[in-house]
Chains A and B, each alone.
Chain A
Amino acid sequence: MLIDINAYVGHWPFIQLKYNTCEALGQRMDKFGVDVSVISSMNGVFYKNTQSANQELYDELKASKRYKNRLIPFAVINPIYAGWRQDMETSINKLGMKGIRLYPKYHDYEITDPSLIELVKRARDMGVPVTFCYRMVDSRQRSWMDIDYVAYTPKPEWSMKNIMPIIKEVPDAKYMILNAANSLAVDKNDMETFKKADVLIDTSGRTLNDIGSLLKTQGKERFAFGTHSPILDYLTGLLRIESLRESEADEATKELLRSGNAKRFLGI
């Protein structure tokens, strides 16, 4: 079984995307053998009022009869925007969304913002995961209108160190980390907290090219298949798993990566 924990529908304002509807994603899943995808609306990265995007996703799922039960929706919430508590409540309890995706850089707040801490604690108490993304697109191709966290400049893209402060603030929440395109290293003082935290990292990011070694240092429960579709190609995240040698990951470990870790994390 294959569960993709990192997919989207919706638009990216600076480039035309293919396969960015529930229907098109579903066809992609069928073609490449993916059973279930965790999705959110990319429009929520850009709408000031993210709840409009969550509602759009809900409506699209309702209309996508062929695929809706294979798509697990997450809500995009901005914790410094009016009404976010109610939006979160509505998304989880009325729209059936199973987790939260957060975009501090795009929504312009700090990783230790009190509102974010409150949101993560609420998610923890509701039993749903929160998700952070290293980057949505490779910053070297960024549009002049995009955010200016750019690789190899004094204001670089994020790495795990940028996310660690919220994990320290709420160590007992469930965290998904997506598109790990940069370092997974944390400061020495944070290593114990990170080790104990319930953190699931998807395989779409380029840092996962050496997943064979990472399984040894981080453990086999830490990672799960993800595509970052439709921004990244649909197969590389899977190829990182399937090309592992037996000495690096036996069949049982590969099954954890394909779906076992995601099932445990999502409680399905």
Chain B
Amino acid sequence: MNINRRKFVTRSAVSAAGILLGSHLKGMAKAEGGEEVSLSKPKKYDLMKDVMKYRKIDAHAHIYFTNTSPEEQLDAGERLGIDKQVISRYLSIMPGTPEQFREYNDLTIKAIKKYPKHLLGGFVLNPHYKKESLDEIKRCTDAGMIGTGELYYQTKISDPLYYPIIEKLIDMKMIIFSHAECQLGVGGYRMKYNGNKEPNTSIPEDFVAIAKRYPEGMFQYAHIGGGGDWEYMCKMLKDSPNVYVDTSGSNNDENMIDFAVEQLGEDRLFFASDNSYPQSVGKILASNLTEAQKKKVFFDNYNNLLKKGGRNVD
């Protein structure tokens, strides 16, 4: 039998397609003419090996007042090779009185003392209470916390009320970390829409303003995967070199990480989950970042900032 290589490959491939897909797709191939088909079974990709390859600090996670916390968060981290999680209990939609933020910080202190190998603590406060907030920074730092947890809806990060707090945090070489959103009708952006959010929600423009006022500050913009317009966020923050973004959030759009690195550079991204653990790892592994860039994002970038205050984890 005289059969050339091209025909052989074609026939073998069609046969393989039949084995692989059964009669269903064989029918489709026929409907489409069944001409040259090169079908090769893809090589197996070991996702978990890739996951476990990288040491990770989760720069944004939360614990709760439940019986399953923080063990639930530790379990989620362990299965994805997350060595350390920076936890806090954010103040949510509430007045954020000193009694409230002390209670919330006590929860975090309890957790980091119970699991010191895996949990780092961030404190929350409310700059409407200047003296109490400054006192709380000292109390929480003495208890071993490393910087702020996710500061929340009570006050925009650019509000002058924050100035004395930020100045104190700069003195202490701590990362200043705040919630942020970027959505139609939220925090001053296109307010003809109604995003149904708190009026003091921080938006990228607020970070630009405060970072410009305090170029020596180290600001962490929360969750570019928090659901908002991540292209807008990255473009707005591009020229604010002392604003770092964390990659957390439940949204795991393709190309988010590549775009962020393209806009901000490879040193300004922190790996983080905001408790959306699979998305947090999946979006980085699916990106086109190099090995070295992934290592930076998963661990080094955050650790390098901790190092400035002597709080690094290695």
> A residues touching B (Cβ–Cβ < 8 Å)?
1, 15-19, 29-36, 58, 61-62, 65-66, 68-70, 72-73, 94-96, 98, 137-142, 144, 150-154, 181, 206, 209, 229-240, 242-243, 245, 263, 266-268
Contact = CB atoms under 8 A, between A and B. Distances in A.
A151 B250 CA distance: 13
Contacts of A15: 231, 253
Contacts of A263: 22
Given A96-B31, A141-B229, A239-B278, 5 more contacts: A181-B250, A209-B277, A236-B283, A266-B24, A268-B23
A34 B47 CA distance: 12
A33 B229 contact: no
Enumerate the 4 nearest inter-chain pairs by beta-carbon distance, A residue then B residue, closest first: A236-B282, A140-B227, A33-B45, A268-B24
Contact of A18 (B43, B181, B182, B255): B255
B230 A141 contact: yes
Given A33-B43, A69-B29, A243-B80, A236 B252 contact: yes
A156 to B, nearest CB: 10
A151 B227 contact: yes
Mostly helix, strand, loop or mixed at chain A's interface?
loop
Nearest to B258: A18
Contacts of B41: 35
A223 to B, nearest CB: 14
A153 B194 contact: yes
Given A72-B25, A209-B278, A245-B79, A236 B286 contact: yes
A263 B24 CA distance: 10
B172 interface: no
A34 B40 CA distance: 11
B252 to A, nearest CB: 5
Interface string B48-61: 10010000000000
Nearest to A32: B45
B45 A243 contact: no
A65 B36 CA distance: 7
B42 A230 contact: no
29 contacts: A16-B255, A31-B42, A32-B45, A32-B286, A33-B44, A36-B21, A66-B38, A69-B37, A70-B21, A72-B28, A96-B27, A96-B28, A140-B226, A144-B184, A181-B250, A206-B251, A209-B276, A230-B254, A233-B252, A233-B279, A239-B47, A239-B281, A239-B285, A240-B278, A242-B47, A242-B51, A266-B24, A268-B21, A268-B24
A150 to B, nearest CB: 7
Interface string B230-266: 1100000000000000000011111110100000000
A173 B119 CA distance: 48
Given A69-B25, A69-B39, A144-B184, A95 B31 contact: yes
Nearest to B34: A69
B28 A70 contact: no
Interface residues of B, number: 64
Contact of A267 (B24, B35, B258): B24
A35 B195 contact: no
B278 A236 contact: yes
A150 B196 CA distance: 10
B41 to A, nearest CB: 6
Nearest to A93: B31
B209 interface: no
Given A19-B254, A69-B25, A141-B230, A30 B42 contact: yes
A111 to B, nearest CB: 24
Determine chain B's interface SS by DSSP, over half rule.
loop
Contacts of B191: none
B35 A232 contact: no
B138 interface: no
Nearest to A95: B31
Contacts of A33: 42-45
Contacts of B182: 141
Interface in B38-96: 38-45, 47-48, 51, 79-80
Interface string B194-226: 111100000000000000000000000000001
B301 interface: no
B32 A96 contact: yes
A233 B254 contact: yes
Contacts of A17: 254-255
A105 B29 CA distance: 33
A235 B80 CA distance: 13
Contacts of B168: none
Given A30-B42, A31-B45, A242-B48, A234 B286 contact: yes
A141 B190 CA distance: 13
A69 B227 contact: no
Contact of B22 (A58, A96, A141, A268): A268
A31 B42 CA distance: 7
A152 B196 contact: yes
A33 B48 CA distance: 13
B282 A239 contact: yes
B193 interface: yes
A61 B32 contact: yes
A229 B253 CA distance: 9
B278 A233 contact: no
Given A31-B45, A32-B45, A33-B43, A98 B254 contact: no
